[in-house]
Structure 1
Amino acid sequence: MTLKLHSKRNQLIVILTALLAGSLLLIGAKKLQAPQAEEMLLTLNGQEATAAEFNWHLQMNRALIVDYFKQTYNADYSKDFWSAYYSGENPMQKWINTAQTQLLTKRMELQLAQEAGVVTDISFEGFLKEMERENNRRSQAAANKEVVYGPLHLEAQAYFSYYMSNLEEATIEAMRSNGSIVISDEQVKLEYAANLIAKYSLPGTIRLEWATLPFGPETEYKDQQKALERMEKLHAIATATAATDSSGTGFQDQAKEFGVNVGEVKITSASRRTAALENPKVLLTAEQLAPGEISSLFAENGAIHLLYCLSADDAAVQPLDHVKDAIALNLAQQKYRSIVDEKLSEAVVEWNYPMAEGLANQTIQ
């Protein structure tokens, strides 16, 4: 009886052992068959930045990196460009690091905007939807004959700048409202006093006699050198007589003798922006002239130019009341940038460089 019971107990142990082993094998098999979690490229304070978002920033910066190495090292683009080194700098590494820095900064600014209540959806998909919505709005506005500022369709780089600029502006406004950014009247006064001349003065009016001689296929002087030689003769005579003539009349007469067009112009604080866009060399040269002084010859916009300064007024200081709001906004923008930098320095960042390098290599294939 005892032996029989023992035998049955042994059989039961064997059966239980077999069942347990089978269960463990089944669990192990299930673990092996279970899909692995998708590998993450980058996280900022626990929020993931997707590979698609990083690749978007790679695409935006590709041409900029190529141009940087061309301008800095005169490096031409070739099949070996991304793997080459120029004075210790590698295009692939710089490209990846630039895209990463841009992405991290954007992610931090989005997090701050979300905390300030400016946006709710800070996903990359939400960002792309906003771009599509803005471009649709512009197209519809154009179709309705409404004014559209800027291009009718914003490309990636243009929209990124547009979106982040508007986001920064809205976030700063919200942070000033909730007290996260505070700019005191004393700070404004100190900034005003420290940069009174450099920043808060309106340039004085400059009166000029402006002589121009066009050159090119549709002008009398087909060759630039011929036009330059003509203007050199005018420059020599005008310089010799400038000391005794402050009216500009002599300069006008001399220019007419050489068949050179000359006219009096005024550059004011209001017209400076237009001048900087249309004739930047003329503006820069005019600002360096003293009354009665003649400029050197220079070429711009298909013409040789010569300037004679009739008068130059002193800069006019703007009253504090006229600029205090602009100063406060500028100081708030500086504070915002410092907050972004500080938050980034304290952030928890997880970064998968090999994965980023793989994405970059796929992009250039």
Structure 2
Amino acid sequence: MKFTKRKVVAATVLVLSIVGAIVLYASVGADSGQTSIAMVNGSVITTQEFKSELEKQITSVIDYFYQSKGVAYGKNFWETDYNGENPEETAKKRALDEIIRLKIELELAEQHGLIQGTSYEDLLHEMDKENKRRLASIKAREPIYGPVQLDESTFMNEYISKLRTQLKETLSEDELNVSEEELKRHYELLKDSLFTMEDRIRFQKISVSYREDLQSNTNNSKKQSIKKRMDAIKLLLDQGKEMDQAISELQAENDAFMLRFTEENLNKDTAGTYFKSQAVLYSVLANNLGVNQVSSVLDETMQGEYVLVKVVDREKSGYKSYDESKRNVWKNYVDTAYGDYLDKLIREAKVNIDESTYKKIHVH
């Protein structure tokens, strides 16, 4: 089933609007949230932390069923099977998998002395400590970064991200240690995708501003007229005309707007400037617009102008050297090795699920 961009956007808006109305419930008597739903290597997963993670999965699961099966959220959505797949069970499995992975990471961090406990209460205690620290800083008129008080989701993301970075650094000294030869082999695998230098590109450019004044105000009728003129130039260029010839044919002496013709260079020294100030142009050139090829009419909104470019010459610039890239090669290697190492520990983990409690938790 195909979906138009408009339908996908509408679906996203719908998902965001209905998530607030979805609640989780558990028919487990007077459950305080501390009931165990599973054990991972002896570490408890409580119903409270499971439901917290389950809530995070709701939006992505609704979107997954819409994108993959064309199923829109509605009545009995969570209870219904769609081609043998059930939304509630999908959300619960994703939540459990995510918590198991987190528990393994916390267990690793505890083993290496980075934290003192792996329970949900331990994490909430750390959040409380951080929020108290932030309040104390505010009272002392000291700077803080981010909100005065972190909610659970924001804190967990920041805390786990920092902890993961520490873990990778620690594990790289032993479990994830890598030799120079292995790093060089990894560099060879990565260099085409990560370490290519900017091509040296010489290109011709026609541009015309549609801004009315320094305040960046735009006259829409003028903008439409400019777009028509640029479309006409594009047609001439596609027919084999040179850029200066096309401008001469279509630029009248009494035009209210002036077409500019320039010849410019994109290379490692100028790439940063183009990337920041002319992102659309940069993307078109960087994505291998060939020699003598002409772009479509580009709307550079940051500059407030329409642009056409034609590549005159393109020269490959090779790769950043291994020595220049070594830190990034190492980081990519460790990121990959860390993920593989976690997958191995997860496969080996002893996971016991309390099926009775697990089945009683529902999305509603």
TM bracket (short chain): 0.7 to 0.9
Counterpart residue type for residue 101 of structure 1:
D
Work out whether residues 55 and 360 of structure 1, in 8 Å CA contact, stay in contact via their aligned partners in 2.
no
Moved more, 232-241 or 86-95: 232-241
Does the alignment pair 1:93 with 2:89?
A: yes
Contact 1:60 1:156 in 2 (8 A): no
Residue pairs, 1:235-314, within 5 angstroms: 235-242=234-241, 244=242, 249=244, 259=257, 262=260, 267-269=266-268, 281-287=280-286, 288-297=288-297, 301=301, 305-314=307-316
Mapped to 2, the partners of 1:267 and 1:239 lie a distance apart of 23
Matched, 1:41 2:32: no
Specify which of 49, 52, 57 is matched with residue 48 of structure 2.
52
The runs of 5 or more residues in structure 2 that have no matched partner are 1-33, 212-216
Cα deviation for residue 338 of structure 1 reads 1.2
Which stretch of the first structure deviates more once superposed, 295-304 or 334-343?
295-304
> 1: CA distance between counterparts of 2:201 and 2:132?
45
Deviation string for 1:238-289 (max 9, x for gaps)?
33355x56xxx55666786574665756655577678668866543322231
Counterpart in the other structure of 1:105? 101
Distance 2:281 2:147 in 1: 29
Structure-to-structure mapping, 1:60-75, within 5 angstroms: 60-75=56-71
Determine whether 1:332 maps to 2:334: yes
Within 5 A, what are the aligned runs for 1:221-232? 221-222=220-221, 228-232=227-231
Is 1:199 the equivalent of 2:194? yes
* Residue 296 of structure 1, CA deviation: 2.2
Q: Distance in 1 between matches of 2:134 and 2:206?
A: 42
CA RMSD, 1 decimal: 3.7
Aligned to 1:234: 233
Moved more, 185-194 or 267-276: 267-276
CA shift, 1:182, in A, is: 1.3
Tell me if 1:189 matches 2:184: yes
* Distance in 2 separating the partners of 1:223 and 1:132: 57
Number of the residue aligned with 2:27: none
Separation in 1, partners of 2:161, 2:187: 25
Give 3-state SS (helix, strand or coil) of 2:220's partner.
coil
> Which residue of structure 2 lines up, in the alignment, with residue 27 of structure 1?
none
Q: Which has the larger radius of gyration?
A: 1
Whichever residue aligns with residue 162 of structure 2, its letter is N
Partner AA of 2:362 in structure 1: A
Between stretches 350-359 and 93-102, larger displacement belongs to: 350-359
User: Would the aligned equivalents of 2:44 and 2:119 in 1 still touch at CA under 8 Å?
Assistant: no
Q: State which of 307, 318, 321 in structure 2 corresponds to 1:319.
A: 321
- Map of 1:345 onto structure 2: 347
Find the partner of 2:175 among 177, 180, 198.
Answer: 180
Matched residue SS, 1:83: coil
Gaps of 5+ in 1: 1-37
Higher normalized helix content (fraction of residues):
1
CA distance in 2, matches of 1:159, 1:134: 9
Q: Shift of the alpha carbon at 1:188?
A: 0.9
TM-score, length-scaled by structure 2: 0.72
Partner SS for 2:336: helix
Q: 1:254 to 1:332 in 2, by over 3 A?
A: farther
CA distance in 2, matches of 1:253, 1:138: 64
8 Å contact kept, 1:294–1:306: yes
Q: Is the 8 A contact 1:42 1:50 kept in 2?
A: yes
Aligned residues: percent identity?
21
Separation of aligned partners in 2, 1:160 and 1:212: 48
Q: 1:332 to 1:228 in 2, by over 3 A?
A: same
Report the Cα distance in structure 2 between the residues aligned to 1:238 and 1:333, rounded to whole angstroms.
47
Q: Which amino acid aligns with 1:239?
A: D
TM-score by length of 1: 0.72
Cα contact 2:195–2:319 (8 A) shared by 1: yes
SS in structure 1 at match of 2:309: strand
- Number of residue-to-residue matches in the alignment: 319
Letter in 1 for 2:360: G
Q: Give yes or no for contact 2:210–2:222 (8 Å, CA) kept in 1.
A: no
Structure 1 Cα separation of the partners of residues 65 and 277 of structure 2: 30
